[in-house]
């Protein structure tokens, strides 16, 4: 029998389970201090969480705080909701959301992702971009938007992305770009505008000069309209050839406010009446002042 001496000299018989309880306490303590387990069906190794090819419809919860790369490509995500999922991922450097079915990114969906420097959104169904989509990505250096359905880029598309060096808009449906649309991208060094359907009218005249002066564009983006400029590199078009018919001078590229697909939106009023809704629709703008649902 083992005897343990306490300071007052009184012998105390040790319990045979004492060492076992210590082991349990240590195990419990380690469990409390460890990261959460890998999200269901995902594969986790060396701080890489691979949740690709799982037919996911949303970003999983309980991603380990030590994650540096998050792979969510080849799933069936349609909307990136502003759930705060990235707020505890201070080590995250790369997010891959390519080859999903994303049509909407809620304002603030990436809130807390300031450590991320690569975001891949290639091969989705995004048709417009606004700065609120990317809020929280202050450290982003690479933004891949290849093969989407973006038709125009405006002055509020990339506000706040001061550190982006590479932006790819390859293979979208771009017809026009608002003057100054890239001015907020202060460190931009590579821009890919190839494989788009530029309408080289008077609204795009500024871009020819900009491309020649900046020399950061990959390849030679070409005009597709009007017919007499088809396939001519945009930067080779003479200024007088960027023409508009009377009444066409007004820009058709304006920021599209976020609005639930089931509703109609006018300024800060969102109307969802007579839609037979059973739940509050997703994607309601944060500045809404009136929400009729009768």
Q: Where are the domains of the chain?
A: 3-32, 257-294
- pLDDT tier for residue 131 given thresholds of 50, 70 and 90: confident
What was the pLDDT predicted at 43?
97
What was the pLDDT predicted at 215?
86
List pLDDT tens digits, range 71-85: 999 999 999 999 999
pLDDT at 14 > cutoff 80: no
Q: How many CB atoms lie within 10 A of CB 170?
A: 21
pLDDT at 20 > cutoff 80: no
What was the pLDDT predicted at 37?
86
Q: Alpha-carbon distance 42 to 49, whole Å? A: 7
Least confident of 29-33, 95-99, 253-257: 29-33
List pLDDT tens digits, range 175-229: 999 999 999 999 999 999 999 999 999 999 999 999 988 889 988 999 999 999 9
Q: Which residue has the tokens 């300031």?
A: 114
Q: Which tops the pLDDT comparison, 293 or 121?
A: 121
pLDDT at 33 > cutoff 50: no
pLDDT at 36 > cutoff 70: no
Q: Which residue has the tokens 């989407």?
A: 148
DSSP letter at 273 equals T
Share of the chain above pLDDT 70, in %: 73
List pLDDT tens digits, range 229-241: 999 999 999 999 9
pLDDT at 90 > cutoff 80: yes
Please report how many Cα atoms fall inside a 13 Å half-sphere around the Cα of residue 41, on the Cβ side. 12
What was the pLDDT predicted at 16?
43
pLDDT at 284 > cutoff 90: no
Q: Is there a contact between 54 and 30 (Cβ–Cβ < 8 Å)?
A: no
pLDDT at 100 > cutoff 80: yes
What was the pLDDT predicted at 255?
58
**pTM score over 0.85:** no
pLDDT at 5 > cutoff 50: no
pLDDT at 13 > cutoff 50: no
pLDDT at 258 > cutoff 70: no
Q: Average pLDDT over the chain, rounded to whole?
A: 83
* Tokens describing residue 159: 């506000």
What was the pLDDT predicted at 22?
40
pLDDT at 7 > cutoff 80: no
Cis peptide before 226 (omega within 30 of 0): yes
Q: Which tops the pLDDT comparison, 257 or 66?
A: 66
Mean pLDDT of 158-162: 93
Q: Is there a contact between 133 and 159 (Cβ–Cβ < 8 Å)?
A: no
């Amino acid at each position: 029998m083992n005897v343990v001496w306490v300071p007052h000299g009184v012998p105390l018989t040790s319990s045979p389970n004492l060492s076992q309880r210590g082991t349990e306490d240590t195990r419990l303590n380690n469990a409390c201090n460890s990261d959460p387990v890998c999200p269901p069906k995902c594969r986790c190794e060396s701080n890489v969480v691979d949740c690709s090819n799982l037919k996911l419809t949303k970003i999983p919860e309980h991603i380990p705080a030590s994650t540096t790369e998050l792979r969510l490509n080849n799933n069936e995500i349609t909307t990136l909701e502003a759930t705060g999922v990235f707020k505890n991922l201070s080590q995250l450097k790369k997010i891959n959301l390519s080859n999903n079915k994303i049509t909407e990114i809620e304002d603030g969906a990436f809130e807390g992702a300031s450590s991320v420097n690569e975001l891949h959104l290639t091969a989705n169904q995004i048709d417009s971009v606004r700065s609120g989509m990317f809020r929280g990505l202050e450290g982003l250096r690479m933004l891949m938007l290849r093969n989407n359905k973006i038709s125009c880029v405006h002055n509020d598309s990339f506000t706040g992305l001061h550190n982006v060096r590479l932006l790819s808009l390859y293979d979208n449906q771009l017809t026009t770009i608002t003057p100054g649309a890239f001015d907020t991208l202060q460190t931009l060094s590579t821009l890919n505008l190839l494989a788009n359907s530029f309408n080289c009218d008077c609204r795009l005249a500024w871009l020819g000069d900009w491309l020649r002066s900046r020399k950061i564009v990959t390849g030679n983006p070409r005009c597709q309209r009007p017919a007499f400029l088809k396939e001519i590199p945009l930067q080779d078009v003479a200024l007088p050839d960027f023409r508009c018919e009377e009444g066409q001078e007004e820009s058709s590229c304006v920021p599209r406010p976020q609005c639930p697909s089931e509703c109609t939106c006018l300024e800060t009023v969102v109307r969802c009446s007579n839609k037979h809704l059973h739940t509050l629709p997703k994607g309601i703008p944060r500045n809404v002042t009136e929400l009729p649902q009768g």
